[in-house]
């Protein structure tokens, strides 16, 4: 069978490797850190930094196709690989989602709503941005932020200096605070032939910037549900995308607002492992290898709960509960804020 190269060896790479194995593929992980979670299930691991172009070229030569589970892979790494093997999703999808400023401009360009935003590189930019956008607002680093890291909330003008200091000199954007009722996400996929499939939107609850739970179905009317899926489809087509994407949306009284996109399988799509015949990981492997896409239909309602840090201590109790599917990432050390695993609680419908 063919070998799929995956940039990034975290839990997403691990679950992609499991799905690839189910379809008869082998995986080869490229990951800078030692002993990555995906390394336990992949056939091969290359341990090297993303700026080691020789290591990247050797990795590319050893596989048939390359994908990634991490959106902060430098585009220079993709450039080196692209000369040797195809990469999905493409470079533009990665570049757009890596930089919040480029991402928002792209979304607006294709007719989608985002929070109002402005680029902030210094004190004067910030003062002007606050003037234009108003408060409350959120200052975010343009690059490398995840799980709410690299963000500062501004409620009064007096918060500005502190917020800017928290960026530590990194380029930032100021986003107007979106007055949402709840947060949802759409996990969707586009195949090599341009066909698109989407899962039902999930409703997300965050705590301290980290996803805690995703519940399907989300509280949405039929029109909102259709709108959410159409938004994802528009993004996929505009990027000529191949693979699975995660689109985070705010639900507001006046429609859906796009928060951000992730060019990969997404934490809020883990419910598909126990709610659908074809989960997001298999869907991604199908998409990038040219298989027909699964249709994404949900056979069960599910609540996905992340096990973060010490939550892992609850695993004994969770294991005794009926209808709880356990997914652990094989991480040795439970640090605060570290995603150790998740559970999918399958909600039985009255029949």
State the binding site for ATP.
100, 140, 145-151, 175-178, 183, 206, 259-260
Q: Does 248 bind ligand ATP (CB under 6 A)?
A: yes
Q: How many CB atoms lie within 10 A of CB 323?
A: 12
Provide the minimum distance between the beta carbon of 175 and ligand ATP in the complex, in angstroms, as a whole number: 4
Among 22, 91, 206, 335, binds ligand ATP (CB under 6 A): 206
Which among ligand ATP, Mg ion, none contacts residue 183 (Cβ within 5 to 8 A by kind)?
Answer: ligand ATP
C-alpha distances in Å from residue 86, one per residue of 46, 90, 257, 346: 19, 9, 33, 37
Provide the minimum distance between the beta carbon of 288 and Mg ion in the complex, in angstroms, as a whole number: 22
User: Are 231 and 288 a contacting pair, CB within 8 Å?
Assistant: no
Q: Does 175 bind ligand ATP (CB under 6 A)?
A: yes
Q: For residue 13, give the 3-state DSSP assignment.
A: helix
Q: Does 209 bind ligand ATP (CB under 6 A)?
A: yes
Provide the minimum distance between the beta carbon of 257 and ligand ATP in the complex, in angstroms, as a whole number: 8
DSSP string, 51-88: T-HHHHHHHHHTSSEEEES-TTS-HHHHHHHHTTS-BS
List CB contacts of 178: < 8 A, sequence separation 6 or more: 115, 250, 252, 257, 259
Q: For residue 110, give the 3-state DSSP assignment.
A: coil
Q: Does 178 bind ligand ATP (CB under 6 A)?
A: yes
Provide the minimum distance between the beta carbon of 160 and ligand ATP in the complex, in angstroms, as a whole number: 17
Q: Does 279 bind ligand ATP (CB under 6 A)?
A: no
Q: How many CB atoms lie within 10 A of CB 239?
A: 21
Stretch that binds ligand ATP, among 173-181, 276-284, 313-321, 329-337 (CB under 6 A): 173-181
Q: Does 115 bind ligand ATP (CB under 6 A)?
A: yes
Among 82, 99, 121, 147, binds ligand ATP (CB under 6 A): 147
DSSP state of 269: G
Stretch that binds Mg ion, among 232-240, 254-262, 263-271, 285-293 (CB under 5 A): 254-262
Smallest CA-to-CA distance from 87 within 107, 110, 59 is with 59
What residue ranges bind ligand ATP (CB under 6 A)?
115, 138, 145-149, 175, 177-178, 183, 206, 209, 248, 259-260
């Amino acid at each position: 069978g063919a070998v799929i190269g995956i940039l990034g060896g975290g839990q997403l790479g691990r679950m992609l490797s499991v799905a690839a194995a189910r379809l008869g593929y082998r995986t080869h992980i490229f990951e800078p850190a030692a002993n990555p979670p995906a390394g336990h299930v992949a056939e091969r691991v290359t341990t090297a930094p993303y700026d080691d172009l020789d290591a990247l070229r050797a990795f590319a030569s050893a596989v048939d196709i390359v994908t990634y589970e991490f959106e902060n892979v430098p585009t220079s790494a993709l450039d080196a690989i692209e000369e040797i093997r195809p990469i999905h999703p493409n470079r533009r999808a990665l570049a757009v989602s890596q930089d919040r400023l480029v991402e928002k401009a792209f979304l607006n360009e294709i007719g989608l709503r985002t929070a109002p935003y402005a680029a902030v590189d210094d004190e004067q930019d910030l003062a002007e941005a606050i003037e234009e956008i108003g408060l409350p607002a959120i200052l975010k680093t343009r690059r490398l932020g995840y799980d709410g890291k690299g963000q500062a909330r501004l409620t009064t003008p007096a918060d500005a200096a502190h917020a800017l200091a928290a960026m530590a000199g990194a380029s930032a954007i100021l986003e107007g605070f979106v007055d949402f009722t709840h947060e949802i996400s759409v996990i969707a996929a586009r195949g090599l032939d341009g066909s698109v499939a989407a899962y039902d939107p999930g409703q997300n609850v965050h705590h301290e910037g980290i996803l805690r739970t995703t519940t399907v179905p989300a509280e949405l009317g039929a029109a909102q549900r259709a709108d959410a899926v159409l938004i994802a489809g528009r993004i996929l087509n505009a990027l000529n995308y191949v693979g699975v994407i995660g689109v985070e949306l705010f639900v507001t009284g006046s429609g859906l607002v796009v928060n951000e996109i992730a060019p990969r399988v997404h934490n809020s799509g883990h419910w598909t492992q126990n709610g659908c015949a074809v989960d997001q990981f298999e869907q991604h492997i199908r998409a990038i290898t040219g298989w027909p896409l699964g249709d994404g239909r949900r056979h069960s309602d599910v609540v996905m709960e992340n096990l973060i840090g010490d939550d892992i201590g609850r695993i004994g109790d969770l294991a005794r509960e009926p209808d709880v599917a356990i997914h652990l990432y094989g991480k040795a050390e439970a640090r605060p804020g570290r995603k150790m695993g998740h559970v999918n609680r399958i909600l039985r419908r009255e029949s």
